[in-house]
Amino acid sequence: MYFADRTWPELDDIEERSLAVVPVGSTEQHGPHLPLATDHLIAESLAHEATDRADVLCTPTVKIGVSPHHRQFNGTMWVDPPAFRDYMESLARNLTYHGIDRIVFVNAHGGNVSHLREVGRRLRDAGDAYAIEWMWNDSIPELVDELFATNGPHGGPKETAMIQHIAPDLVREEEFETARDDGLVDFDEGGMTVHGARTFYDSIDNTDSGVLGDQTDATAEKGEQLFEAAADQLVQLLDWLADQPRDALMAKPHV
């Protein structure tokens, strides 16, 4: 249930609810074939679908995340990690004021993962809430591997297929081959590590198009499969979390 569309009297049961979802993404380059909105569109769509099914509160989407590693590409926006962590913690504490004590960050941007985990630790250590980060493709790895020969972590076929399903008008299919040919398909040949050390800091260090992976076998039909499977996993997570006793979620005492 997306509560920003409701009036405040229509949310008179908010203090009886314990669980809320916060969609989190980014606004950053995803190659010449996908919109900068890719990550936050995926997070928002999955969050709305799952919370409607599970009758769980859903907040507005956080659309700008930790993306400085894509900064060389036009239009990419980002916030510095400390500011992002503080903002997300403050947002979560807004929810605890209304009685929410468990939160799922529905995330679709890899650059946010470690920072959302840190926010969750802060909230749990303080005893205020149990907050966890959920990444859609991590919930269905077998299906992703089954559908695509070369997955690619950024701008590749899994994200391409999802946007073909969610927002087909925003996909530039005529750019698929350019994205692949100017990107990095074979990670073993990418020179991403030297003697065990990661030698890159920015996406452009590895890929001229900003793309990692081969999206030429992406389709809207595959995107629908991914979307439905991930939404189902998220609903199951929300059901599980709602059923947990609060004491089981909070930090354990010193032995």
pLDDT above 90: residue 186: no
Say if 169 falls within a structural domain.
yes
User: What's the pLDDT score for residue 230?
Assistant: 98
Say if 253 falls within a structural domain.
no
Query: What's the number of domains the chain is made of?
Result: 1
Gap between the Cα atoms of 66 and 68, Å rounded: 6
23 in Cβ contact with 47 (< 8 Å): yes
pLDDT above 80: residue 48: yes
Residue percentage of the chain with pLDDT more than 70: 98
Say if 252 falls within a structural domain.
no
Q: Does pTM top 0.75 for this prediction? A: yes
Question: Residue 4's Cα: distance from chain center in Å?
Answer: 20
Instruction: Quote the tokens at residue 197.
Output: 């050390």
Say if 61 falls within a structural domain.
yes
Say if 11 falls within a structural domain.
yes
Q: What is the mean pLDDT of residues 177-186?
A: 88
Question: What values do phi and psi take at 58, rounded to 5?
Answer: -130, 130
Say if 120 falls within a structural domain.
yes
Domain extent at residue 89: 3-246
Closest CA to 103 of 190, 17, 209, 4: 17
pLDDT above 80: residue 168: yes
Say if 16 falls within a structural domain.
yes
Instruction: Quote the tokens at residue 60.
Output: 């507005």
- Which residue type is seen at 103? I
Say if 152 falls within a structural domain.
yes
* Residue pLDDT, tens place only, 50-89: 999 999 999 999 999 999 999 999 999 999 999 999 999 9
User: What's the pLDDT score for residue 190?
Assistant: 57
Instruction: Quote the tokens at residue 228.
Output: 């439905």
Assign residue 73 the CATH number of its domain. 3.40.50.10310
100 in Cβ contact with 16 (< 8 Å): no
